[in-house]
């Protein structure tokens, strides 16, 4: 610390901050991120004179010095405690006293306070009369609060010269001043220094304490408001739990909902609100863990009240984090939504009942319609086929048209049934290997009459590399017919409808079929709607024998069931193109449901091959469906699989049955097949090759490995079987 005379201040050493001011909850307010701006109210509170008064008075009396509290600009707050005689005499005589209140100076009072705040440490000053005083800064964090000035004492035996000057300056008797001065006991520098240090520490501690108290009060206030809020919520349970699940706070709403009072539940684990099964399955802990991962979870489930009654709850659990990143606990909000759930359940049951009734109705209607439809069909066809005599051309034409309408009715009735199956998710597809070239050719030929009526051309473009697909031929036919009919319907006279098949570039393992027309198109915004049930986008076409408008809805379901997708791209005035994808045939996919772990574990997988290749093609064509029927009857549905032509050779249809049976079962099946096949006329020409491959799981072999092995042996059997066949004729 350096001294100075004549009021000039020199920087003193910066005293270390001994007690950094900390706010409650361990936050260091010196940290600028957390510093609270001192409001004028807070300042006033921190510098409350009544509170300081006692400290200052005691200090002054003990140290035998004058002491005063000032603001950051050096203005005394309140009064000067224990003023010293010399100062008092001069002060009384002075007319105007500006600047530092303790300085006896004529023109330039010290700026000790400001300086002490600036350097953050004690500053000591000697004034004109030789008296010394110190300024001790008061801070809150980095914010200047004020200062304490203490002194008005000599630090050595007074020097008469400066005193005489002062007396003259202020118009006081020099002798009187000297007498007073001599009587003042000096306080040594050392003591003054020590006392200043003490004052600094005292000041800081006191400010700290007051600051803490202010924050506590404000927090209590906030807490109080929060508490009011939480307690005011009566319909939601709001409570907090510690990290292990013990309840730490409980609101009125929670008490109303669960029936536990504050006293009952605080300290208990919140798992008591869960059902016994949930507790057994560790659901409460799982929920807390999940909340920790994402910060917050929402859940619906059963909860139990104190009286053991269950209710359906909507629960929100939010994690409460500490400053340091540890978990303080969780905040839980629970809503009783039992009523809502009851409504949901009832609505769902009503919906299902409605769906059931609707299905029964449609099923019944479709069933009933078939009887008169059959009669009409029989009578018309009987006459049309000449069974009741010849017809003139006009009669023929009329009846032909009548028959067309019957066919339409028939397909509408079929649609009705399909629609209920779609809704009940009962539409079935029975996939098999299908050659698209053949199927599209067939479909186009059936649509030709329809197209011819409007002079619309039907074209097909099948890419040469299109592989065999895995689809239900009847259903695929149904879908394609539907799409082509749509194309024809929406295309004006002399337009063109084109069917294309090619490998689908965007997705491996699929073939893309498209049906394009040169018609009026529909807006892109309608491209989704057309697949909705009963959505008939209006058309300008005359020939709108539209049926029930269910075609696309059913088609979409069928395509999806086969594992593909269907969509429409269209533009008004530019025509439309329907796209659908169909999965490519793959042996692995096919055998999936056979090579299941239980099947493989239960024993061997038996492979039976029936060869029809050795007979002439003409007879083959007739026999093939028959053999299929026989084999279908011999194998056990659900367990065995009928695999039609495994090879790419178009002409042959060698049947393989992959059967899950043990050795005994295999013998039985083989016998049955052989016997059934003998019933055929041309069966004697058949050469059934009944082979089997038995592959029990080898020790240490995985199921996946065994599956691959079995598939490989099937491939081998196929290869062996078909090796040496004569070249393909066009199938």
**Cβ proximity to other proteins, 169 vs 442, nearer residue:** 442
**Cβ proximity to other proteins, 383 vs 488, nearer residue:** 383
**Cβ proximity to other proteins, 208 vs 478, nearer residue:** 478
**Cβ proximity to other proteins, 545 vs 633, nearer residue:** 633
The residue within the footprint of other proteins, chosen from 44, 183, 378, 705 (CB under 8 A), is: 378
The residue within the footprint of other proteins, chosen from 183, 217, 346, 375 (CB under 8 A), is: 375
Q: How far is the CB of 434 from other proteins (least distance, A)?
A: 9
**Cβ proximity to other proteins, 406 vs 646, nearer residue:** 406
Q: Do you know the residue count of the chain?
A: 731
Q: How far is the CB of 559 from other proteins (least distance, A)?
A: 19
Task: Give the dihedral of Cα atoms 413, 417, 419, 423; nearest 10 deg.
Answer: 170
Three-state secondary structure call for residue 282: coil
Q: How far is the CB of 491 from other proteins (least distance, A)?
A: 27
> Does 374 engage in binding with other proteins (CB under 8 A)?
yes
**Cβ proximity to other proteins, 318 vs 363, nearer residue:** 363
Dihedral sign for Cα atoms in the order 225, 228, 231, 232: negative
> Does 206 engage in binding with other proteins (CB under 8 A)?
no
The residue within the footprint of other proteins, chosen from 477, 650, 685, 703 (CB under 8 A), is: 477
**Cβ proximity to other proteins, 375 vs 401, nearer residue:** 375
- Give long-range contacts, CB 8 A cutoff, 24+ apart: 443-451: 443/477, 443/480, 443/481, 443/484, 443/499, 444/484, 444/499, 446/481, 447/481, 447/484, 447/485, 447/488, 450/485, 450/488, 451/488, 451/497
> Does 385 engage in binding with other proteins (CB under 8 A)?
yes
> Does 646 engage in binding with other proteins (CB under 8 A)?
no
> Does 678 engage in binding with other proteins (CB under 8 A)?
no
Stretch that binds other proteins, among 34-42, 48-56, 74-82, 367-375 (CB under 8 A): 367-375
What residues contact residue 468 under an 8 Å CB cut-off, 6+ apart? 433, 434, 435, 436, 584, 585, 648
For the chain, helix, strand, coil in percent to 5 are: 45, 20, 35
Reading phi first (left if > 0) and then psi (alpha if -120 to 50, else beta), residue 64 is in: left
**Cβ proximity to other proteins, 309 vs 621, nearer residue:** 621
What residues contact residue 669 under an 8 Å CB cut-off, 6+ apart? 606, 608, 634, 635, 657, 659, 661
**Cβ proximity to other proteins, 171 vs 637, nearer residue:** 637
Closest by CA position to 522, among listed 565, 489, 558, 547 = 489
Q: How far is the CB of 412 from other proteins (least distance, A)?
A: 13
Q: How far is the CB of 720 from other proteins (least distance, A)?
A: 30
The residue within the footprint of other proteins, chosen from 302, 311, 379, 567 (CB under 8 A), is: 379
Query: Six-digit token pair at 377?
Result: 């069909």
What residues contact residue 532 under an 8 Å CB cut-off, 6+ apart? 553
Q: How far is the CB of 565 from other proteins (least distance, A)?
A: 24
Q: Determine contact, residues 56/150, Cβ cutoff 8 Å.
A: no
| CA distances, 379 to each of 159, 371, 373, 391, 407 (Å) | 146, 13, 10, 14, 14
Stretch that binds other proteins, among 116-124, 308-316, 378-386, 653-661 (CB under 8 A): 378-386
Q: Determine contact, residues 33/155, Cβ cutoff 8 Å.
A: no
Q: How far is the CB of 372 from other proteins (least distance, A)?
A: 8
Cα 331 versus chain centre, distance: 21
> Does 441 engage in binding with other proteins (CB under 8 A)?
no
Three-state secondary structure call for residue 80: strand
What kind and span of H or E run contains 567?
strand 566-571
> Does 676 engage in binding with other proteins (CB under 8 A)?
no
Q: Determine contact, residues 162/149, Cβ cutoff 8 Å.
A: no
Q: Show contacts with other proteins in window 388-427 (CB under 8 A).
A: 388, 406, 410, 417, 421, 426
Q: How far is the CB of 378 from other proteins (least distance, A)?
A: 3
The residue within the footprint of other proteins, chosen from 473, 495, 521, 564 (CB under 8 A), is: 473
The residue within the footprint of other proteins, chosen from 298, 368, 507, 616 (CB under 8 A), is: 368
Q: How far is the CB of 473 from other proteins (least distance, A)?
A: 6
> Does 672 engage in binding with other proteins (CB under 8 A)?
no
Q: How far is the CB of 677 from other proteins (least distance, A)?
A: 15
The residue within the footprint of other proteins, chosen from 88, 275, 363, 614 (CB under 8 A), is: 363
**Cβ proximity to other proteins, 193 vs 363, nearer residue:** 363
| CA distances, 366 to each of 96, 406, 418, 552 (Å) | 115, 14, 10, 19
Q: How far is the CB of 421 from other proteins (least distance, A)?
A: 8
> Does 650 engage in binding with other proteins (CB under 8 A)?
no
DSSP lists the bridge partners of residue 610 as: 655
**Cβ proximity to other proteins, 254 vs 434, nearer residue:** 434
The residue within the footprint of other proteins, chosen from 474, 588, 668, 698 (CB under 8 A), is: 474
- CA distance linking residue 673 with residue 657, whole number of Å: 11
> Does 361 engage in binding with other proteins (CB under 8 A)?
no
Q: Determine contact, residues 246/268, Cβ cutoff 8 Å.
A: yes
- CA distance linking residue 290 with residue 330, whole number of Å: 12
**Cβ proximity to other proteins, 13 vs 368, nearer residue:** 368
Reading phi first (left if > 0) and then psi (alpha if -120 to 50, else beta), residue 425 is in: left
- CA distance linking residue 58 with residue 74, whole number of Å: 21
The residue within the footprint of other proteins, chosen from 182, 370, 589, 672 (CB under 8 A), is: 370
DSSP 522: -
Q: Determine contact, residues 391/334, Cβ cutoff 8 Å.
A: no
- CA distance linking residue 240 with residue 246, whole number of Å: 8
The residue within the footprint of other proteins, chosen from 377, 408, 615, 642 (CB under 8 A), is: 377
**Cβ proximity to other proteins, 350 vs 378, nearer residue:** 378
**Cβ proximity to other proteins, 539 vs 682, nearer residue:** 682
The residue within the footprint of other proteins, chosen from 92, 190, 387, 723 (CB under 8 A), is: 387
Stretch that binds other proteins, among 227-235, 348-356, 369-377, 642-650 (CB under 8 A): 369-377
In the shown chain, the binding pattern of residues 622 to 641 toward other proteins, with x for contact by CB under 8 A and - for none, equals x--xx------x---x----
- The pair phi, psi for residue 323, each rounded to 5°, is -55, -45
Stretch that binds other proteins, among 391-399, 502-510, 616-624, 655-663 (CB under 8 A): 616-624
> Does 342 engage in binding with other proteins (CB under 8 A)?
no
- CA distance linking residue 604 with residue 593, whole number of Å: 15
Interacting residues toward other proteins by CB under 8 A: 363, 367-368, 370-375, 377-379, 381-382, 385, 387-388, 406, 410, 417, 421, 426, 428, 439, 442, 473-474, 477, 618, 621-622, 625-626, 633, 637, 681
């Amino acid at each position: 610390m350096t001294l100075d005379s004549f009021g000039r201040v020199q920087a003193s050493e910066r005293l270390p901050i001994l007690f950094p001011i900390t706010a409650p909850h361990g936050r260091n307010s010196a940290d600028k991120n957390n510093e609270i701006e001192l409001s004028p109210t807070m300042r006033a509170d921190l510098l409350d004179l009544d509170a300081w008064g006692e400290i200052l008075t005691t200090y002054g009396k003990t140290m035998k010095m004058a002491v005063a509290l000032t603001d950051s600009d050096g203005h005394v707050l309140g009064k000067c405690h224990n003023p010293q005689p010399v100062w008092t005499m001069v002060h009384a005589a002075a007319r105007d006293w500006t600047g530092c209140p303790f300085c006896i100076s004529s023109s330039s009072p010290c700026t000790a306070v400001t300086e002490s705040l600036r350097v953050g440490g004690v500053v000591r000053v000697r004034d004109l009369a030789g008296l010394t005083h110190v300024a001790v800064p008061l801070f809150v964090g980095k914010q200047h609060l004020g200062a304490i000035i203490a002194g008005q004492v000599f630090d050595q035996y007074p020097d008469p010269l400066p005193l005489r000057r002062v007396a003259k300056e202020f118009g006081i008797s020099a002798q009187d001043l000297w007498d007073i001065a001599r009587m003042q006991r000096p306080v040594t520098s050392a003591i003054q220094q020590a006392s200043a240090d003490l004052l600094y520490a005292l000041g800081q501690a006191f400010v700290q304490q007051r600051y803490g108290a202010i924050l506590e009060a404000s927090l209590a206030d906030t807490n109080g408001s929060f508490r009011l809020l939480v307690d005011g919520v009566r319909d939601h349970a709001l409570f907090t739990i510690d990290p292990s699940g013990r309840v730490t706070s409980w609101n009125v709403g929670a008490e109303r909902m669960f029936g536990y009072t504050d006293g009952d539940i605080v300290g208990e684990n919140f798992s008591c609100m869960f059902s016994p099964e949930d507790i057994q399955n560790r659901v409460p802990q799982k929920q807390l863990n999940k909340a920790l991962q994402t910060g917050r979870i929402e859940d619906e489930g059963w909860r139990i009240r104190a009286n053991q009654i269950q209710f359906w709850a909507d629960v929100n659990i939010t994690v409460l984090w500490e400053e340091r990143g540890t978990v303080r606990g969780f905040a839980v909000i629970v809503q009783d939504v039992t009523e809502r759930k009851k409504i949901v359940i009832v609505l769902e049951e009503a919906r299902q009942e409605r769906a059931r009734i609707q299905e029964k109705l449609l099923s019944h209607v479709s069933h009933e319609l078939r009887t008169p439809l059959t009669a009409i069909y029989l009578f018309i066809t009987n006459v049309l086929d000449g069974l009741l005599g010849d017809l003139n051309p006009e009669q023929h034409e009329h009846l032909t048209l009548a028959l067309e309408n019957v066919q339409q009715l028939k397909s509408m009735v079929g649609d009705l049934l399909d629609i209920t199956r779609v809704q009940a998710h009962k539409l079935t597809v029975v996939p098999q290997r299908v050659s698209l070239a053949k199927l599209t050719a067939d479909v186009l030929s059936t649509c030709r009459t329809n197209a011819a009526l409007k002079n619309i051309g039907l074209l097909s473009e099948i890419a040469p590399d299109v592989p065999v697909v895995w689809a239900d031929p009847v259903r695929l036919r149904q879908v394609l017919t539907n799409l082509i009919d749509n194309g024809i319907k929406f295309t004006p006279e002399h337009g063109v409808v084109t069917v294309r098949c090619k490998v689908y570039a965007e997705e491996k393992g699929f073939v893309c079929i498209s049906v394009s027309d040169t018609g009026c198109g529909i807006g892109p915004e309608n491209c989704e709607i057309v697949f909705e049930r009963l959505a008939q986008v209006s058309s300008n076409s005359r020939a709108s024998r539209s049926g029930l408008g269910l075609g696309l809805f059913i088609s979409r379901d069928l395509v999806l069931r086969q594992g593909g997708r269907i969509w429409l791209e269209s533009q008004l005035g530019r025509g439309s193109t329907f796209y659908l994808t169909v999965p490519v045939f793959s042996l692995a996919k096919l055998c999936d449901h056979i090579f299941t772990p239980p099947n493989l574990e239960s024993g061997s997988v038996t492979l039976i091959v029936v060869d029809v290749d050795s007979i002439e093609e003409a007879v083959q064509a007739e026999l093939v469906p028959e053999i299929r029927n026989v084999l279908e009857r011999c194998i056990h549905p659900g367990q065995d699989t009928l695999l039609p032509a495994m090879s790419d050779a178009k002409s042959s249809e060698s049947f393989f049955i992959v059967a899950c049976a043990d050795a005994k079962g295999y013998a039985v099946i083989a016998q049955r097949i052989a016997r059934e096949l003998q019933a055929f006329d041309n069966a004697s020409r058949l050469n059934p090759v009944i082979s089997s491959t038995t592959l029990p799981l080898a020790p240490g072999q995985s199921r996946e490995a065994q599956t691959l092995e079995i598939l490989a042996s099937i491939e081998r059997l196929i290869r062996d079987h078909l090796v040496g066949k004569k070249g393909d004729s066009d199938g």
